[in-house]
Amino acid sequence: MKPGEALTVRSEAEGVDVWFDTYISKGCVTVWLYEDGDPYKIVGDYVVVDASGTRLDSGHQRPRGQRWSAGGPIID
């Protein structure tokens, strides 16, 4: 994301109490969705949109060639 941009993460799972966990690190925003707050029940039915409602793909504006791991971006 660039300064001033906004995004919305919303669950599309119906009938599920979804909790959100957000991690912010240099060059990266990661959002995890959990059913009932249980970190072993990851919700995979979600959508991310920008302020105009445009759907964003995973890695939106990630710099080309940036390496990635489960823990976040690898900053060389």
The pLDDT tens digits for 2-57 are 788 888 888 888 888 999 888 877 767 788 899 998 989 999 888 999 999 999 88
63 assigned to some structural domain: no
Q: Evaluate whether residue 52 is within a structural domain.
A: yes
Q: Which residues does residue 53 pair with via DSSP β-bridges, in sequence order? A: none
Report how far residue 76's alpha carbon sits from residue 73's, in angstroms, rounded to the nearest whole number: 9
User: Count of domains in the chain?
Assistant: 1
pTM to 2 decimals?
0.65
Asked if residue 51 belongs to a domain, the reply is yes
The answer to whether residue 36 is domain-embedded is yes
Domain-located, residue 30: yes
Domain membership of residue 28 as a residue range? 1-57
The beta-carbon contacts of 66-72 under 8 Å, at least 24 apart in sequence, are 66/27, 72/23, 72/25, 72/28, 72/30
